[in-house]
Structure 1
Amino acid sequence: MILKWLNFNRKICIVFVLSISPFIVSTAQNGYDVRVEKYNSTWQKLIPRYMKMQYAGGMGFLSLGTGWDYGKNKQWETDVFMEYLPKFSTDNSKITFTLRQNFMPWNTKINDKFSFEPLATGLYVNTILGDDFWVHEPDRYPKGYYGFSTKMRFNIYAGQRITYNIPHDKRSIAKSFTFYYEISSNDLYLVNAFTDSYWGPKNYLRLSFGIKMQIL
């Protein structure tokens, strides 16, 4: 009788272990999968979503950049640009770097292929690479002689955009192209505009054009 009882209980234990083992494995796998998904999702957010090319705008003669769009309606953008500045008043050409934050509050759909953003605005700061420029005045100048940085400029802009959305079956390297223009100014120009009566809009405003290729 004792042996029969032990065999019966052993069968119950085996059946019980076999019945709950899939849940144990599933729970372990789900926990691992969740961690992997979060890890991949975090890294995927760091992948640039688009490429940009811009002419003028106080950043350089020609600017190449990339960035990320986000928000409920993708109304926010963060750009990073590298620009080429040909020699003008200096002996050598220069390279500049720009970090920019954009905001597009409205997006109007024209048809299945085109959409229009009546307002694009933002702020950006750019710096020029080279030892000939500074953030703080060098000691060789009297204190307050310049009163501003020659290395960094803070800018503000406003403009408009129109986007061509490529049909899904015809996409290869991009999903859309956006063409835009901007009118911008920087901190130094605006100070001169308010303090110098001879400065008109053509002196402190700049016009630029660009194209954005949406990759993701």
Structure 2
Amino acid sequence: MQFRLILAALVAAPLAVSASISSVPGALPDSVGVPTAPAPAGRVSPSNPLPWYRPNHVVLQTGGGLGMIAGGAGFSLKDRLDLDILIGYVPEKYAGSALSLASAKLIYSPWSLPLHDKLTLKPLSVGGYFSYTHGTINDEEPDQYQPGYYWFSTDTRVGPLLGSRLSYALPATASGRSRNLSAYYEFSTNDLYIVSYVQNRRGLSPADILTLSLGLKLDI
């Protein structure tokens, strides 16, 4: 008799627990699956990140001391931080010798302002760049000048930049990542221009040491 009572209690206990759960407002039975919310469009799933070597965007620009025309690819290191690698070119007609330039830009854009369903403005982009120029006249003529004649490097430049960019939302990729086409401008200067300005403030104004670049950036 005791064995039957214990067995009946064991069978009744789960039924009682199930009944108590189902009586709680908003409770869901175990047999009903809870659908998970889909990942927001335009974001890469953490379980399937992009390879570290794959660029996030391509860039094409003119000016800025990085070549009459320059193009390359870039990486989004953080939500607001980009690294762009560019190769530029200046024809001999405009520089005395044909110049090829390799440069890297690190750009931080702290704010994004939605203007429309598909338009976003990044009002401030700040950063710096480094560039190396091959083909300068002085580099092509060894011993043309006595040692120390040029105290500065004739082929490497480093400097700050500041600008803004306007982005237009494009259809998402097949994997669901968002894409934008952005137009931007940047004002920049370099170490040599800054030193020249400090040493000759009466002859130079800040506008004399600034260069302007215009470019396009396409997410891929």
Cα shift readout 1:143-180 (whole Å, capped 9, x = no counterpart) = 43211000101121100111001144999xx8210010
Q: TM-score, normalised by structure 2?
A: 0.69
Corresponding position of 1:78: 83
Measured after TM superposition, the shift of residue 210 of structure 1 is 0.4
**Conservation of the 8 A alpha-carbon contact between 1:57 and 1:182:** yes
Structure 1 portions without partners, runs of 5+:
1-39
Q: Distance in 1 between matches of 2:146 and 2:100?
A: 28
Corresponding position of 2:166: 162
Could you say if the C-alpha distance between residues 170 and 45 of structure 1 is closer, same or farther in structure 2, counting changes exceeding 3 Å?
closer
Measured after TM superposition, the shift of residue 112 of structure 1 is 2.1
Pairing 1:191–2:198 present: no
Corresponding position of 1:96: 101
Corresponding position of 1:57: 64
Q: Distance in 2 between matches of 1:191 and 1:142?
A: 22
RMSD: 2.7
Structure 2 portions without partners, runs of 5+:
1-46
Q: TM-score, normalised by structure 1?
A: 0.70
Measured after TM superposition, the shift of residue 42 of structure 1 is 7.8
Q: Distance in 2 between matches of 1:117 and 1:110?
A: 10
Pairing 1:213–2:218 present: yes
Corresponding position of 2:181: 177
**Conservation of the 8 A alpha-carbon contact between 1:154 and 1:187:** yes
Where does 1:26-175 land on structure 2 (aligned, <5 Å)?
A: 44-71=51-78, 74-88=79-93, 91-130=96-135, 132-133=137-138, 141-168=145-172, 175=179
Corresponding position of 1:27: none
Could you say if the C-alpha distance between residues 208 and 89 of structure 1 is closer, same or farther in structure 2, counting changes exceeding 3 Å?
closer
Identical amino acids, percent of aligned pairs: 29
Q: Match of 2:67, as an amino acid?
A: G
Q: Distance in 2 between matches of 1:109 and 1:179?
A: 15
User: SS where residue 67 of structure 2 aligns?
Assistant: coil
**Conservation of the 8 A alpha-carbon contact between 1:179 and 1:210:** yes
* Bigger proportion of residues as helix: 1
Measured after TM superposition, the shift of residue 202 of structure 1 is 3.5
User: SS where residue 193 of structure 1 aligns?
Assistant: helix
Q: Distance in 1 between matches of 2:100 and 2:158?
A: 17
